[in-house]
Amino acid sequence: MLERNRRLLGMSDSEDNFWPTFTDLLSVIVFVILLTLVSYIFVAQVTTKEVIEVQEMINKRVTEIVGFREKIYEELSSEFSGSDMSINLDKNTAAISFSGDVLFEIDSDVIKPEFKTMLIEFFPVYTEVLLSEENKKIISQIIIEGHTDDTGDYMYNLDLSQRRASSVVKFILGDEFPEFKYKEELKYYITANGKSESSLVYNENGTVNRSRSRRVEIKFTIKDQYFIDKMQEILDN
């Protein structure tokens, strides 16, 4: 089912991965380390049977947390499987990418009408998934990232990518964008980030794919507090 959805979404296994933010990665590492320390403490104080029970509980929690992105991926894949929008959905991080020359006017942060149409179709559905009652307890931010190719000066591209990301946020939250369920609540989650040419997309022969490098990515981060709460649950049991 997921492979069919990946094909419908225009994905391939050879596409570059969208890496999670450093804070997400650090949170997972710290959380796993803390859980390991807890398991060692219990080894010294409880019976073998109790140690096994605690370790099973820890493994369950780790699986739950690490599997959250996979859950979001599956939900987004299901929602957009029948869409004809040109988007890429990354299986590892559930990040979404719009790429190509239909996004902005050349050397400008002005959004093209074609991209506005895609955003109007995409964002109400996207927020239905990310900001559902179940998921928004874990979501910290929804990030709009602007990316350029390697043409021109890095600092100029940094400014351009930031302005483009900000233009997308302004459009989504502005009066021109039709009302949708989570539009008001989205203000507390959404942010814009320009990445310049720092995350180029490459062809198989090692050359830069400039069309795909010029893109807008939509990704999310997970609350650090969620990991802390899960840790406390284990300690309290």
What's 161's domain CATH number?
A: 3.30.1330.60
Judge whether 182 lies within some domain. yes
pLDDT of residue 11: 46
Find out whether 163 and 194 touch, Cβ atoms under 8 Å: yes
- How many CB atoms are closer than 10 A to CB 135? 16
Judge whether 41 lies within some domain. no
pLDDT of residue 84: 83
pLDDT tens digit at each of 237 positions of the chain: 444 444 444 444 444 444 445 555 556 665 666 666 565 555 555 556 666 666 677 666 666 666 888 899 999 999 998 888 888 999 888 999 998 888 999 899 999 999 999 999 999 999 999 999 999 988 999 999 999 999 989 999 999 999 999 999 999 999 999 999 999 999 999 999 999 999 999 999 999 999 899 999 999 988 865 655 665 565 565
Judge whether 31 lies within some domain. no
- How many CB atoms are closer than 10 A to CB 207? 8
Judge whether 127 lies within some domain. yes
pLDDT of residue 227: 59
Residues with Cβ within 8 Å of residue 219, at least 6 apart in sequence:
18, 20, 21, 93, 94, 95, 96, 142, 143, 145
State the Cα torsion 64-30-13-101 to the nearest 10°: 110
Domain span holding position 86: 2-20+67-226
pLDDT of residue 89: 93
Judge whether 55 lies within some domain. no
Residues with Cβ within 8 Å of residue 175, at least 6 apart in sequence:
none
Q: pTM for this structure?
A: 0.72
Element (H, E) at 89: strand 87-89
Residues with Cβ within 8 Å of residue 20, at least 6 apart in sequence:
69, 93, 219, 221
pLDDT of residue 100: 81
Q: Report the domain count for the chain.
A: 1
Residues with Cβ within 8 Å of residue 190, at least 6 apart in sequence:
141, 142, 143, 144, 169, 172, 173
β-strand 96-99 against 87-89: which pairing, if any? antiparallel
Judge whether 233 lies within some domain. no
Of the candidates 155, 156, 176, 7, the one whose C-alpha atom is nearest the C-alpha of residue 77 is 7
Judge whether 208 lies within some domain. yes
Judge whether 62 lies within some domain. no
The string of DSSP codes covering 37-86 is HHHHHHHHHS-HHHHHHHHHHHHHHHHHHHTHHHHHHHHHHHHHTT--S-
